[in-house]
């Protein structure tokens, strides 16, 4: 995650309140304390599929005769409550975990779960980034690391469904995956999709790129229909129409920034044009118009990763 943004980002996603924006200077005890009031709420989506809302990235759950699969695991202090919520669904203890990307509001429970023998899966770059860490995120413990990694994707055949995990190149980060339940018609998009709560966060320092977010939205739109239930990385449940609106927003802003950049306009000049103004409506949003436009502007200065390579 970027140096200046990672702590506030996770803190904001915890409570979406300005009061929690200064987590960087707080001790672990204070940080644990802020999780004390977080409740994990389950919303059933289909037979054997649910979403858990708490603090951090939304969690997908698949459960049934072949075992329980989690998609993301929020923050370490919440692991016991997440396990309790899984039990309340009538599910067996977690057996498999898929990380949609490496950000710690999605992987914070990895170490706890890894210690209980949960099999962790993620895209290659997720493991690489968890091992390395960055300026604000320490290297992950060995138990927190994915033990099965893939480049393009992986399929899980269990609980009466085919769960397709598919990598989306250079988008929110360079390690994003979406998870699609083929029979149940449910998809978890990780942070490729922020529903309502904020303008998109594009983590350029983790290989993210605005163009990749647009491409991912288009790819998912080609897979879904009007009945598909879409789990966003953050925010309430969504449907195809919500994702179309999001895709159109990305497309419009990218086109406006690209055009202005082509005319030689500086970042400040493009920000002054307010190309994202009509979507910049939430005063408490983590990412507001100027930050989003900056990320788009810088994305377009990077090479287009249409032809990604395996690592
Ligand atoms: Zn997130
Ligand atoms: Zn993220």
Closest ligand by atom to 102 CA: 2
- pLDDT of res. 170: 97
**Per residue in 228-281, pLDDT tens?**
999 999 999 999 999 999 999 999 999 999 999 999 999 999 999 999 999 999
pLDDT tens track for 54-89: 999 999 999 999 999 999 999 999 999 999 999 999
Two structure tokens written together for 148: 């099965």
* 83 contacts 92 by C-beta, under 8 angstroms: no
Number of domains in the chain: 1
Torsion, Cα 101 107 113 119, to 10 degrees, reads 10
Whether 288 is in a domain gets the answer no
Q: What pLDDT digit, counting tens, does each position of 207-236 carry? A: 999 999 999 999 999 999 999 999 999 999
Q: Which of 12, 42, 37 is nearest to 283 (CA)?
A: 12
Residue 263 placed within a domain: no
In a domain, 8, yes or no: no
The residue count of the chain comes to 311
49 close to 59: Cβ distance less than 8 angstroms = no
Share of the chain above pLDDT 90, in %: 86
Q: Is residue 246 part of a domain?
A: yes
CA of 246 to the centre of ligand 2 (A): 17
Residues with CB under 5 A from ligand 1 (ion): 57, 105, 191, 233
Q: How confident is the model at residue 31 (pLDDT cuts 50, 70, 90)?
A: low
Q: Are strands 148-150 and 153-158 parallel, antiparallel or unpaired?
A: unpaired
Q: Is residue 34 part of a domain?
A: no
pTM across the whole model: 0.90
Separation of 79 CA from ligand 2 center, angstroms? 18
**Which range of residues forms the domain containing residue 141?**
39-253
Centroid of ligand 1 to alpha carbon of 101 (angstroms): 9
Nearest to 254 by CA among 291, 207, 293, 289: 293
- Give dist(CA 292, CA 227) in Å, integer: 30
What is the C-alpha separation between 66 and 87, in angstroms, rounded?
A: 15
Residue 85 lies in a domain: yes
Cα-Cα-Cα-Cα dihedral of 241, 85, 110, 136, to 10°?
Answer: 70
Spacing, Cα 305 to ligand 1 middle (Å)? 22
Q: What confidence score (pLDDT) does residue 7 get? A: 44
Q: Report the CATH number that the domain containing residue 198 is assigned in CATH.
A: 3.60.15.10
Q: Is residue 305 part of a domain?
A: no
Angle at 197 between CA 280 and CA 8, to 5 degrees: 95
The answer, yes or no, to whether residue 120 has pLDDT greater than 80, is: yes
């Amino acid at each position: 995650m970027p140096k200046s943004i990672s702590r506030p980002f996770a803190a904001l996603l915890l409570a979406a309140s300005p009061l929690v924006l200064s987590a960087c200077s707080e001790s672990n005890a204070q940080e644990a304390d802020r999780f004390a009031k977080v409740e994990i709420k389950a919303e059933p989506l289909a037979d054997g599929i649910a979403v858990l809302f708490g603090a951090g990235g939304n969690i997908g759950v698949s459960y049934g005769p072949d075992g329980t699969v989690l998609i993301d695991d929020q923050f370490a202090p919440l692991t016991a409550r997440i396990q309790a919520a899984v039990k309340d669904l009538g599910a067996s203890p977690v057996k498999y975990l898929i990380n949609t990307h490496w950000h710690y509001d999605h992987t914070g429970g990895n170490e706890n779960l890894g210690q209980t023998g949960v099999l962790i899966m993620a895209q290659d770059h997720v493991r690489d980034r968890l091992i390395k860490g960055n300026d604000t995120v320490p290297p992950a413990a060995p138990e927190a690391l994915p033990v099965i990694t893939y480049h393009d994707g992986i399929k899980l055949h269990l609980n009466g469904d085919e769960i397709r995990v598919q990598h989306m190149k250079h988008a929110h980060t360079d390690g994003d995956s979406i998870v699609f339940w083929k029979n149940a018609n449910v998809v978890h998009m990780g942070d490729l999709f922020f529903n309502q709560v904020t303008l998109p966060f594009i983590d350029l320092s983790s290989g993210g790129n605005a163009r990749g977010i647009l491409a991912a939205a288009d790819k998912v739109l080609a897979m879904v229909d009007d009945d598909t239930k879409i789990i966003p990385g953050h925010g309430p449940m969504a449907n195809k129409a919500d994702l179309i609106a999001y895709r159109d927003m990305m497309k419009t802003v990218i086109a406006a920034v690209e055009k202005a950049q082509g005319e030689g306009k500086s970042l400040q000049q493009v920000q002054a044009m307010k190309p994202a103004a009509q979507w910049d409506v939430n005063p408490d949003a983590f990412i507001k118009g100027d930050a989003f436009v900056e990320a788009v502007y810088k994305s377009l200065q990077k090479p287009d990763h249409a032809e990604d390579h395996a690592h």
